[in-house]
Chains A and B, each alone.
Chain A
Amino acid sequence: MTGIVALYIFMLAAFTGYEIIAKVPVILHTPLMSGSNFVHGIVLVGAMVALGNSHSTLEKVIGTIGVFMAAGNAAGGYVVTERMLEMFKASGAKSGKPKSGGH
């Protein structure tokens, strides 16, 4: 991947992100923020490769923390987004009574 191709990818992805969100209704802002939070959990693959190529103990420790946090980002982001979106139903579909989240 040459530098200029990477730059093109960067530009096009930036526009893509903007366009996808531009038309989103307010009712989905929280799940969408959570969903995009999940998507940057892809940092996991980078953390895996960084740790996989580590040699010194310091690198391994930091890399392990990185993989741990990245996995947390991806898994946590997925679960909470899925939980929220699962509840959105139209009036046609008769919804069950989910138990209330205690406080």
Chain B
Amino acid sequence: MNTPLLGAESVHWLIEISYFVTAFLFIMGLKRMSSPVTARSGIVWAGAGMLVATLFTFMYPGMGNYEWILPAIIVGTLLAWISGKRVAMTDMPQMIALYNGFGGGAAAAIAAVELYRGEAMSPTMGTLAVSGGLIGAVSFSGSLIAFGKLQGLVKKSWRFGGQQLLNIVILLAALVVGAFIASGWHHDPFHVSLFFVLALVFGVFMTLPIGGADMPVVISMYNAFTGLAVAFEGFVMQNAAMIIAGTVVGSAGTLLTQLMARAMNRSLGNVLFSGFGDTGGAAAAGGETKGSMKPIDAADVGVMMAFSQKVIVVPGYGMAVAQAQHKVWELCQLLIDRGVMVRFAIHPVAGRMPGHMNVLLAEAGVPYDLISDLDEINAEFETADVALIIGANDVVNPTARNDKSSPIYGMPILNADKAKNVIVIKRGQGTGFSGIENALFYLDNTRMLYGDGQAAASALIQAVKAV
């Protein structure tokens, strides 16, 4: 499909230049995405890069099969575009997992096409193709399981004795068969098929035992995996754009995974191999809690907040489940109009993945400069008149600070207990995600406002208006 105006040489050169521009736009785009002020433009830059690379790739010399390529692009783009537009912000984590799995699957598909073609490869190229295929396939099937778990399609965590051993055996088998192929010794369709089946099964088995609460870390890890797989296949295809973009995502994703694991006070190994992080999985250990929970009326809370100087709101995922973020922001706007200083304190694991709560608050219209993370806000609780806890539990449990026997001991928490008054909006008297009793609820300065998050927030709005 060469254009007659340009020789193959200059077409190749044009494509190389377009990939160079793409790599530049990707890196600049990611850089801009790391500040809230420029973030929006960052994704647009990166999007432009993607468009440039895709369009110029159509000029590739000697390419055919456009009757296959075009429909695949159009259908894939349309389906993803529509689903991406419609997904609720609360369901964002599993959507990212799904799209990421597609990327891993595409990298594995490239490896499969190259390996099934059966042309002799140098051992280096063979190793790269096989490695990218393995990582991509694991990322594909693993991400699909992660999607299924967060979407509620896969409910069981499916654990059994000797599971780790079985997983290691499957991985080793995949590596051995991969080595057969890469060395050229058994480079035939049967071994290639066997290799991909083993890799896909490994991804499924590795992800199944991991609990839903740990899934964000796993998704982030698979994101890094896909990046790496793309980079490896980039080496095989001699494609610099794929090498650069894949590697950048591979290393950035690895760092992001570590940051997330650290915010949850878990090591990555712990997440992958321990099987905690399952709803109701951990026993309600910990010492006896003293005192009782003291209820309060919305009207009293309204007065208290209206005459405060500083209110810190601590939202948790429960708020988003109740779709209460809009009401909470309405309440805060009323307080701000009265001259109250309002801040939102976000724990790194509030929401379902780090930063997810910020997205949900942003959706409700909360400006990002009112939102502070743990390190910024923790010293401020002492000067706050009211800490309003809505839908959060374990992340404000002082047990994590001082009870060594607690399963969450050592997890960084928001020091809401240091505020003069603590108001907890809660549906009932149950325990949190980890099943651990929350000592905060029993403190002398804590009052419980029972009710559904949205209803409680509406009641507070009326109460503040009535003041």
Chain A residues within 8 Å of B, Cβ to Cβ: 1, 3, 6, 9-10, 13-18, 20-56, 58-60, 62-93, 95-98, 100-103
Contacts and interface: CB of A to CB of B under 8 A. Distances in A.
Given A28-B358, A36-B252, A69-B109, 10 more contacts: A1-B240, A9-B247, A14-B251, A26-B263, A36-B223, A37-B223, A47-B110, A76-B102, A84-B89, A85-B33
B448 to A, nearest CB: 25
B60 A32 contact: no
A33 B367 contact: no
21 contacts: A13-B231, A13-B247, A17-B30, A24-B33, A27-B371, A28-B39, A29-B355, A30-B355, A32-B34, A39-B30, A40-B100, A45-B19, A45-B241, A46-B242, A58-B116, A67-B68, A77-B96, A80-B84, A80-B99, A83-B89, A89-B368
Contacts of B76: 67-72, 75
B215 interface: no
B200 to A, nearest CB: 13
Interface string B329-369: 00000000000000000101001011110110011110111
A30 B62 contact: no
A72 B140 CA distance: 13
Interface string B221-259: 001001100110111011111111111111111111001
B390 interface: no
Given A33-B253, A69-B103, A80-B87, A42 B22 contact: yes
Contacts of A53: 62-64
A69 B143 CA distance: 13
B36 A84 contact: no
Contacts of A40: 100, 103, 223, 226-227, 230, 245-246, 249
A39 B241 CA distance: 10
A76 B54 contact: no
A70 B78 CA distance: 12
B40 interface: yes
Nearest to B348: A26
Interface stretch (B45-53, B308-316, B399-407, B437-445): B45-53
Contacts of A98: 363, 365
A31 B353 CA distance: 10
B112 interface: yes
B394 to A, nearest CB: 17
Given A28-B39, A72-B77, A87 B100 contact: no
Contacts, number: 416
Contacts of B126: none
A52 B88 CA distance: 36
Contacts of A51: 65, 68-69, 72, 113
Which 5 A-B pairs rank lowest in CB-CB distance, beginning with the nearest? A66-B109, A71-B76, A79-B84, A52-B63, A101-B88
A56 B33 CA distance: 42
B177 interface: no
B260 interface: yes
B3 interface: no
A74 B301 CA distance: 48
Nearest to A89: B367
Most chain A beta-carbon neighbours within 10 Å: one of B66, B105, B114, B238 = B105
Nearest to A9: B243
A60 to B, nearest CB: 6
B322 to A, nearest CB: 10
Most chain A beta-carbon neighbours within 10 Å: one of B91, B256, B370 = B256
Chain B: interface size category: 35 or more
Contact of A73 (B26, B99, B365): B99
B10 interface: no
B251 A13 contact: yes
B392 interface: no
B88 A102 contact: yes
Contact of B73 (A56, A71, A84): A71
A17 B73 CA distance: 28
B31 interface: yes
B106 interface: yes
B63 A49 contact: yes
A97 B45 CA distance: 26
Contacts of B422: none
Contacts of A89: 362, 365, 367-368
Nearest to A96: B365
Interface string B97-136: 0111011011111101110110000001000000000000
Contacts of A72: 76-77, 79-80, 99, 102
Contacts of B250: 14, 17
B107 A74 contact: no
Nearest to B238: A1
B353 A43 contact: no
Nearest to A35: B33
Given A28-B34, A76-B81, A85-B43, A49 B239 contact: yes
A22 B44 CA distance: 21
Nearest to B251: A17
Contacts of A97: 326, 365
B90 interface: yes
